[in-house]
Each structure stands twice: as structure tokens, then as C-alpha cells.
Amino acid sequence: MRQAPNSEAGLVSSSVAVRIEALAPAFAGRVVALAEALGLPQTGEAGFALQLGADGLQLQELGAGASGPVRVDFLEGAVAHRRQHGGGSGQMIAKAVGIQPGVRPTVLDATAGLGRDAFLLAQLGCSVTLVERNPLVGALLADGMARAVADPEVGPIIGRMHLCLGNAIDLMRNWSLEPPQVIYLDPMFPHREKSSLVKKEMRVFRPLVGADDDAAQLLQAALALATHRVVVKRPRKAPAIDGALPGYALEGKSSRYDVYARKTLKSRP
């Protein structure tokens, strides 16, 4: 998910109105600071509201027929269920990034979105750098991580996750740190009427972040930086991203992982 075309700091969306509001007076001060940081109005007509309350930061679609709010929650709900019952290192994403006995690669998740895949990889022992360039999505993710870091079980997992806000393509092209062994990409697939993108988060975020029309450039930058492999999550029947062809793919019921392998991942002594 997860890169909004042409987004810049302070610009959440160029076409969809978003306002920010406090759900209780106690949060008014923090909302003022967030409004300034994100460049959001606190009043006026809008299609969405970024709301701050006792449960943290959430994005609420407004108007008739709107579904419930979207927030990042690493402590309860689907993420907690996946952490407790998800199958561990036997999951397909774990195999795709190269997790195996004695091998926990460093991972750059260049399309972090709501952080669910990054959280899973961190749970399995990987050090994960998350990059998100849409400021609104980044704010939700940062809030979810901040609320979870004090939890005795989840806190150590969050400690292996490092959030970076910015354009992943530019960051990868100008990378100054030790290169990641694996780069993980999950670009937003262009909309189709019969698409399987039916999750609430997808319906809410699509008007705000759009499709990743620069996925080919994202892949090219990732291939130039990753030392061992690049992994791209795609809908099962979707074509590979334009550019270099993957070496192989792991296919599930609704999605697949295209793997661009460069070097064999080995256990560290």
C-alpha cells in the first residue's frame, strides 16, 4: 500500500478533503500540533476526518454509508490474532523474504502502509525499517507503534521496527546506511471493478493514496539497493511489475510473492 503519487510533507491528498478533529477536549492540544504538522484544517467540509481520542489516532470516512474508522492496532484485533495463531515462520511471506533456521535478514519494507507485514517480520525476529511517504498513513502508523511499545509482549517486537517517513524511491537512491539484505514491496494495485481489494482499509485509503503508478521505479531502486533479494507482493493473477523478471514466485489463494533473488541468505555465526 502505500505510496501516494506525488505526495509531499504536509500534503495528505491533492484531491480529497481531510480535516482533523479531537474526539474529546483533552486531545485538543495534540490535534492542533498534528494539524500544523500535517497541513490539515480543523473545520470545514471534508470526505474524511482524522480523529484523535482515547483509542489513539483513527481515520473516519464521512457521509452516508461510511464504514467504521481505520486505525493501527498492534495489540488487539486481526494483528493480535495473526501474531498468536498465524503459523510463524511457515507463513508464505516468511518464506519469501528468506526466513529459515538461523536466518533473520534485515528488511526494508518500502511500502509500509499500516505496518502489518512489517510487524509480522519483526515478530519473527527480523530488524525492519518501514518507509511510508503518505503523511496521513504515516501518522496512523506512528501512533499505533507508540501505543504498543509499552506492552510487555508486543513492545520488543516494535523495538525491531524503525519508521522512516519519506519517498521510498528517493530514500533508496540516496541510501547512506548499511544496505538491507531484503527489500519488501507491496504496491497498491491499480483499481479494477472486479478487484479483490474489498477490505475496509483499501476502500478508505484508495481515494487518499491512489495506485502506485511508479511501481516500476520503486522496483528498480529496490533492486539496486538490496544485497540479497527483493520481494514483491502481488494479486495472484496480476502481471509482474514492469522491468526485471522475478526469479520465482510463491503463490497463494489470492496473492503471490515475486522473488528477485541475488545472493543466498546464510545464517550468521
User: 166 vs 132, 152, 268, CA distance in Å?
Assistant: 6, 30, 31
Q: Is 117 annotated as a binding residue?
A: yes
For residues 234 and 232, give the distance between their C-alpha atoms in angstroms, rounded to a whole number.
6
Sequence-distant (6+) residues with CB within 8 A of 69 are 51, 58, 59, 60
Tell me: is residue 178 an annotated ligand-binding position.
no
Catalogue the E-assigned strands of 34-160.
Answer: 48-53, 56-61, 107-109, 128-132
DSSP for 214-237, please give it.
THHHHHHHHHHH-SSEEEEEEETT
Candidates 18, 92, 107, 137; CA nearest to 258 is 92
- Where do runs of H (alpha helix) occur along 162-214? 168-173, 200-209
Using alpha carbons, list the distances in angstroms from residue 253 to 16, 59, 234.
33, 30, 12
CA gap 196, 240 in Å, rounded: 17
Contact 23, 44 (CB under 8 A): no
Answer yes or no: is 258 a known binding residue: no
Give the Cβ contact number of residue 66 at 10 Å.
14
The Cα diameter of the chain in Å comes to 59
* Residue 123 in grid coordinates: 515478530
Known binding residues: 116-117, 132-133, 186
Known binding residues for S-adenosyl-L-methionine: 116-117, 132-133, 186
